Every structure is written in C-alpha cells, then in structure tokens.
Amino acid sequence: MNVVESIRLKRDGGEVSPEDLRELVLAYTRGDVPDYQVSAFLMAAFLNGMTDAETDTLVDAMLRSGEVLDLEAIPGAKIDKHSTGGVGDKISLILAPLVACLGVNVPMISGRGLGHSGGTLDKLESIPGFRTDLSVDRMKTQLGDLGVAMMGQTAEIAPADRKLYALRDVTATVEFIPFIAASIMSKKLAEGLDGLVLDVKVGAGAFMKTPAQARELAEALVNVGQLRGCPTVALMTAMDQPLGRTIGNWLEVAESVDVLRGGGPEDVRTLTCALAGEMLTLGGRTSSPAEGAAQAAEALDDGRAWQRFVELVKAQGGDAGAIESPWDRPELEPVASVEAPRGGFVQAIDAFRLGVASVRMGAGRARKEDSVDAFAGLTLNKKVGDPVGEGETLVLLHGSDATRVAEQAKEVEAAFDIGPTPASAGSLIRGRFDGGGWNDT
C-alpha cells in the first residue's frame, strides 16, 4: 500500500481498491500511518464522495480493527437497536428488557451522553450500584441467563472508529453520510448480531435536521447492514420536541419505570412498541412488526417487561429497591420553574435548546471528563398541542446545583413557542425503510 497514492486517487475522484482502503484503516489504527495523511484522505473522500463498495470496505475494516463478538453459543436470535440520538430518548431502558421477555436476546452496547443528547449508560448508572462495564464473558453469561445485557463500548470493539472519530471531529469531516454510517455500523456489526433496528431521528433536536438528510442516513445505514449480511430496518422518527415528559438521567429512569409498568407518556410507549415490533419480527418471534408491537404492549401492561427490568438491574449490581418508587426522591424537589408568559397553545418546543440547557444544568457533559448530576433535568408539564393559561407552569427544573439550574430558566422558557391557535405535534413515526423502499407509517 502507498498511502500518498491512495490519497491522490481519492483526490482525483477515483475509487480506492478494497485492499488499499482496508490496509489504510488497519495501519492507521496500529499507528503505522500518521493522522495528517488520514485527515487529507478523509477530506478528499468528504468532497469527492465514496462509492457503496468503498463504504462497505470501510465498515468491514473498522469492525475488524478490533474484537468481533461471537454469540453463536447463545441460543436464539440476537437483535439490537441503535438511535441516532435525541432529547428525552429513554427508549433503550424500556425496550431491551421488553424484547428480551418476549424471547429475543438483546446484547445492547450503548454510549454516554455528549453534546446536547443524553446517553443510555449515564441513565443506567443513575441507578445506585448499576454497573455497565461488563466484560464480554460476563455479558455472554448474562445474555444466556436473562436474554438481555446492557453495557458500554469496550476498548476492544472497533478501535479504528474511536481513532477516526476523534480525527474527524477536529478536521471538519464529521457530517458525511458514509463516515457516519461506517462509524455506527462498524460498532453495531462487531456485536455479532442477527438483526438491527435503527431509530433515525429527524428534526430540530436531532443530528439530521431535515427529512431528506434523515432519509439519506437511514438508507446508508440499512444498505451497509444488508451488504454485511445483517438484516437491518430503520424507522425515521420525530425529534422536534423532546420524547416523553422528562429530560435528565434519574428523571428518565423514573419515566421508564412508569412505561415498564404499563403507564407513562403515550409517545414513549408508542415508539417503544413500534421498535419492539421490528426487533421481534427480525428475531423471528412475530410475523409482522404490527403483531410484535401488539405483543410488546401486552408485556408492558401485564408486568412481564417490568419483571425483566428488575432482574436486569439486579444482575448488573443495581439497587432494585431504588427503582420501586423512583419519583419519591427528595433530590427531585424542583429548584425552579418556568411559567407561560402568555396563554394559548404550545406550538413547538425546541428539543435542541432544552437538551443544551439540561447539559448546562448538570445532566450531561460539555467535555468527556465532566461528571454528571443524576438528578439534574427538566419535567415538562406541557407538550406541543397542549392548551396553556398565562402564568401556568410549563417546566420544572431539577438539580443539586440550584444556581447553575436557575441560570437556564430563560433558555428553557425561550424553547417554548406559545401561540393563539390550536396546534398538533405531527406523527411520531415518519417512515420505515428495510432496503426495499420507504413505507410511510
């Protein structure tokens, strides 16, 4: 492999051979090719594009840069879900035990919050004692016993992605669909899955702001999955206003417990059941997503999902007592509130703005090293379409650092658009892509 020749080829609009591209990724991961050559290559690819074959090679090289889990010994299908990230998105906490209790294994590897959106690991770790740093062996054992394990990325999985992502972040080469797809899929495909469901968020609070962008990303992700032999389905779902009524780690655990016990906000329940329906169908347990969604709703209502969640918490060292009455915590006493400046109907809620405010209140990280306040966050009393009277409470603000929390009240208020005419939120699920084409749902 001649690195300069590969850069020149990509610079001149050519297609790099699978051998050269694979070796470039692997040599870079080993430290045998310097950052400055790879960043020139990334920029050339960003501007001149990547063919489907190149994207496929990139994914393959990245996933093979580290350990690829072998879950063959565990009976039954192994299906995971990945979300491109939203505000108030606590779906994974509910979905993983729910799908597991219906007979499909969920080996879920999640990330931490960074930027304006929260992370599943931070939410789980707000449960006292809960450990997410499972070894691969421990994960396999638990998957065999319980059908579900929720853990963090290990250093062994797709190290090329970590190194490439850090480089893209400082060289303005992040927002390129083939790179985004390769980053997501290399990690997921290294889990040794039989199928994958993607929740591609679209809207002001999502990474992809427009339906066209979200559709392009969904198609790229599904195509990569199919090409690599992993059946993959994507739902495109709304991320304009936050999902559910809570933002913040413990607040989202509490809301998840509500949904796991058959209650909770309708949007969270609906999206969870839709994603569960896809996972159960990919896992061969139901013959259609609709049938799977109906079974999921039953399992939420009859206590099976809740039961499995409690077992999961116990298996990973968490305090099951703490999740019995999660709302009864003195730390959740609101330290501030935001009232409606005028009466009318909530026209829109800027999820991105609320996500950023929550992070500043302590619910997330501005930098990787920052620690997180489990109790910081927002409770939304009003959502899009709700009527509201002047002076009525829109949002409660929580967190242990009262000054820091109160500072965000203005930002939180500015996220609400209240107008005189009735409004509605629009559909939650905006489309479905399984490689064959798009279904509007």
Q: By CB under 8 A, name the binding residues for its own copies.
A: 3-5, 7-8, 11, 34-40, 42-44, 46-48, 167, 170-173
Which C-beta is closer to its own copies: that of 6 or that of 295?
6
Whichever of 35 and 291 has its CB closer to its own copies, that residue is 35
- Residue with smaller CB distance to its own copies, 23 or 339: 23
Of 168, 215, 245, 353, which is the active-site residue? 168
Nearer of residues 41 and 433 to its own copies, judged by Cβ: 41
- If phi over 0 gives left and psi between -120 and 50 gives alpha, with beta otherwise, what is residue 420? alpha
Cα(76)–Cα(48) distance, integer angstroms: 43
Q: Which amino acid type is present at position 383?
A: K
Is 186 catalytic? The answer is: no
CB-nearer residue toward its own copies: 162 or 382: 162
CB 432 within 8 A of CB 370: no
Structure-token pair, residue 308: 């499995």
The active-site residue out of 183, 186, 256, 358 is 183
Q: How many CB atoms lie within 10 A of CB 195?
A: 21
Q: Is 288 a catalytic residue?
A: no
Nearer CB in complex with its own copies: 43/150: 43
Nearer to its own copies, 34 or 389 (CB): 34
116 is catalytic: no
**How far is residue 414's CA from residue 23's CA, in Å, rounded to a whole number?**
50
3-state secondary structure of 408: coil
| The Cα angle at residue 240 between residues 212 and 49, in degrees rounded to 5 | 30
CB of 369 to its own copies, least distance (A): 20
Distance between CA atoms of residues 195 and 280, nearest Å: 10
* 94 contacts 263 by C-beta, under 8 angstroms: no
- The answer to whether the Cα torsion of 48, 54, 59, 61 is positive or negative is negative
Active-site residue, 245 included:
no
Separation CA 235–CA 28 (nearest Å): 34
Rounded Cα distance between 422 and 343, Å, is 12
Distance in Å, CB of 216 to its own copies, minimum: 18
From the candidates 161, 194, 199, 350, give the one annotated as an active-site residue. 161
Nearer to its own copies, 34 or 317 (CB): 34
User: C-alpha distances in angstroms, 189 versus 60, 200, 319?
Assistant: 9, 17, 32
Cα atoms found within 13 Å of the Cα of residue 89, Cβ hemisphere only: 35
Yes or no: say if 289 and 281 are a contact pair by the CB < 8 Å rule.
Answer: yes
Phi, psi at 281, each rounded to 5°: -75, -45
> Cβ of residue 164: shortest distance to its own copies, in angstroms?
12
Task: Report, in Å, the least distance between residue 50 CB and its own copies.
Answer: 14
Catalytic residue among 123, 187, 308, 382: 187
- Nearest alpha carbon to residue 90 among 402, 424, 394, 363: 363
DSSP line for 123-176: HHHTSTT------HHHHHHHHHHHSEEEEEPPTTS-HHHHHHHHHHHTTT--S-
Q: Is 187 a catalytic residue?
A: yes
CA 322, 324, 327, 330 dihedral sign is negative
Nearer to its own copies, 48 or 427 (CB): 48
88: region left, alpha or beta (phi > 0 left; psi from -120 to 50 alpha): left
CB of 212 to its own copies, least distance (A): 18
Could you list the active site residues? Answer: 82, 161, 168, 183, 187
